[in-house]
Amino acid sequence: MKLHATIAESQIEIELHEQGSQVLAVVDGRKYDVDVRSSRDDNYLLICDAQVFDCRIEGRPESGATFDVIAGTDRYAVTLTDPKRLRGALAFGAHGDGAARINAEVGATVNGGDLLAVIE
């Protein structure tokens, strides 16, 4: 799964491959093998390179929505965007989370300054 993330106004490319509790995460080209364990609702232990990170998620991680990740005593506002979902929304004019509204029909004549699409 490929995602775009915004963390503290920084844009980051993330690719995740899950195999049970193991996750291969590629973050801006750097690879991490992470063992992910759920300790209770919205709390996770991430084990990577013999380091253990106690993390909690506040909010729902949905495409385009901001949620908080608390790692130890640090809090990060995170927004994830699924580029595949956005491409699909643009292609089909879908409405809903991370979707777009297309304001022009195929083959329509448009002029400069016309509002063609709204991405939500």
pLDDT in tens, 30-65: 999 999 988 778 888 999 999 999 999 888 777 778
Q: How much is the average pLDDT of 82-100? A: 52
Q: How far apart are CA 101 and CA 86, in angstroms?
A: 11
- Pair 32, 24: CB distance under 8 Å: yes
How many domains, in total, are found in the chain?
2
Share of the chain above pLDDT 70, in %: 69
Whether residue 29 is predicted with pLDDT greater than 70 in this model: the reply is: yes
| Same-domain pairing of 47 and 88 | no
Name residue 55's beta-bridge partners: 44, 71
| Same-domain pairing of 76 and 102 | no
State residue 24's pLDDT score. Answer: 93
| Same-domain pairing of 76 and 99 | no
Most confident of 15-24, 90-99, 102-111: 15-24
Give the residue numbers spanning the domain of 105: 83-119
| Same-domain pairing of 32 and 62 | yes
| Same-domain pairing of 89 and 76 | no
Distance between terminal CA atoms of the chain? 21
| Same-domain pairing of 33 and 76 | yes
| Same-domain pairing of 37 and 76 | yes
pTM: 0.61
Q: What CATH number is given to the structural domain containing 75?
A: 3.30.700.30
| Same-domain pairing of 28 and 64 | yes
